[in-house]
Structure 1
Amino acid sequence: MASEQTVHMNGGQGDTSYARNSSLQNAEQNKMRPLIEEAIADLLSTGASLPRSMVVADLGCSSGPNALTLVSICVDAIRSQCLRSRQPPVEVCIFLNDLPDNDFNMVVKSLVAFQQSHRSVVTGVMPGSFYGRLFTSGSLHLACSANSLHWLSEAPEELRRNKIPAYDIDEHVRRERRRVVIGAYARQFRKDFTLFLELGAIELAAGGRLVASLAGRRSEEPAAEFTHAWESVALVLSEMASKVRYD
Structure 2
Amino acid sequence: MDPKQMVHMNQGQEETSYARNSSIQNAAQNRMKPLIEAAIVDVCSNTSTLSCGKVVIMDLGCSSGPNAVALVSITLEATHSHFLQLQQPPPEVCVLLNDLPYNDFNVVVKSLVPLRKMNEPVVVTGVVPGSFYERLFPGGSLHLICSSNILNWLSKAPRDLMMNQIPAYDIDEHVRRERLTVVAGAYARQFRKDFTLFLELRAKELVPKGRMVVSLAGRRSDELINESSHVWGTVAQILAIMASEYMGLPLKS
TM-score range, shorter chain: over 0.9
Mapping 1:222-233, distance limit 5 Å: 222-227=225-230, 229-233=231-235
Question: Which residue identity lines up with residue 239 of structure 1 in the other structure?
Answer: I
Question: Which residue identity lines up with residue 153 of structure 2 in the other structure?
Answer: W
Mapping 1:110-149, distance limit 5 Å: 110-117=111-118, 120-149=122-151
Structure 2 vs 1, CA of residues 117 and 47 (structure 1 numbering), >3 Å: closer, same or farther? closer
Q: Do structure 1's residue 64 and structure 2's residue 65 form an aligned pair?
A: yes
Q: CA deviation at 1:49?
A: 10
Q: What do residues 38-69 of structure 1 show as CA deviations (whole Å, max 9, x unaligned)?
A: 01111111239954110000000000000000
Structure 2 vs 1, CA of residues 196 and 160 (structure 1 numbering), >3 Å: closer, same or farther? same
Q: Do structure 1's residue 241 and structure 2's residue 243 form an aligned pair?
A: yes
Partner of 1:165: 167
Counterpart-to-counterpart distance in 2, 1:244 and 1:150: 18
Whether the 8 Å CA contact 1:158–1:184 is kept in 2: the answer is: yes
Q: What do residues 111-144 of structure 1 show as CA deviations (whole Å, max 9, x unaligned)?
A: 1232124561000000000100000000000000
- What's the secondary structure of 1:126's corresponding residue? strand
When normalised by structure 1's length, the TM-score is: 0.94
Partner of 1:34: 34
Partner of 1:94: 95
- What's the secondary structure of 1:177's corresponding residue? helix
Counterpart-to-counterpart distance in 1, 2:143 and 2:149: 21
RMSD across aligned positions (CA): 1.9
Tell me the percent identity.
62
Q: What do residues 158-205 of structure 1 show as CA deviations (whole Å, max 9, x unaligned)?
A: 111111111011111111100000000000000000000000110000
Counterpart-to-counterpart distance in 2, 1:156 and 1:2: 16
When normalised by structure 2's length, the TM-score is: 0.92
Counterpart-to-counterpart distance in 2, 1:189 and 1:28: 21
Whether the 8 Å CA contact 2:49–2:207 is kept in 1: the answer is: no
Structure 2 vs 1, CA of residues 127 and 60 (structure 1 numbering), >3 Å: closer, same or farther? same
Counterpart-to-counterpart distance in 2, 1:7 and 1:48: 40
Counterpart-to-counterpart distance in 1, 2:219 and 2:3: 23
Structure 2 vs 1, CA of residues 49 and 215 (structure 1 numbering), >3 Å: closer, same or farther? closer
- What's the secondary structure of 1:243's corresponding residue? helix
Q: CA deviation at 1:84?
A: 1.4
Counterpart-to-counterpart distance in 2, 1:31 and 1:59: 17
Whether the 8 Å CA contact 1:139–1:203 is kept in 2: the answer is: yes
Partner of 1:197: 199
Q: Do structure 1's residue 13 and structure 2's residue 16 form an aligned pair?
A: no
Partner of 1:82: 83
Whether the 8 Å CA contact 1:3–1:152 is kept in 2: the answer is: no
Whether the 8 Å CA contact 1:168–1:238 is kept in 2: the answer is: yes
Whether the 8 Å CA contact 1:11–1:18 is kept in 2: the answer is: yes
Counterpart-to-counterpart distance in 2, 1:244 and 1:44: 45
Q: CA deviation at 1:236?
A: 1.8
Q: CA deviation at 1:17?
A: 0.6
Q: What do residues 196-232 of structure 1 show as CA deviations (whole Å, max 9, x unaligned)?
A: 00001100001100100011012474321231x2111
Counterpart-to-counterpart distance in 1, 2:140 and 2:242: 41
Counterpart-to-counterpart distance in 2, 1:5 and 1:187: 24
Where structure 1 has 5 or more consecutive residues not aligned to the other structure, the ranges are none
Q: CA deviation at 1:2?
A: 5.7
Where structure 2 has 5 or more consecutive residues not aligned to the other structure, the ranges are none
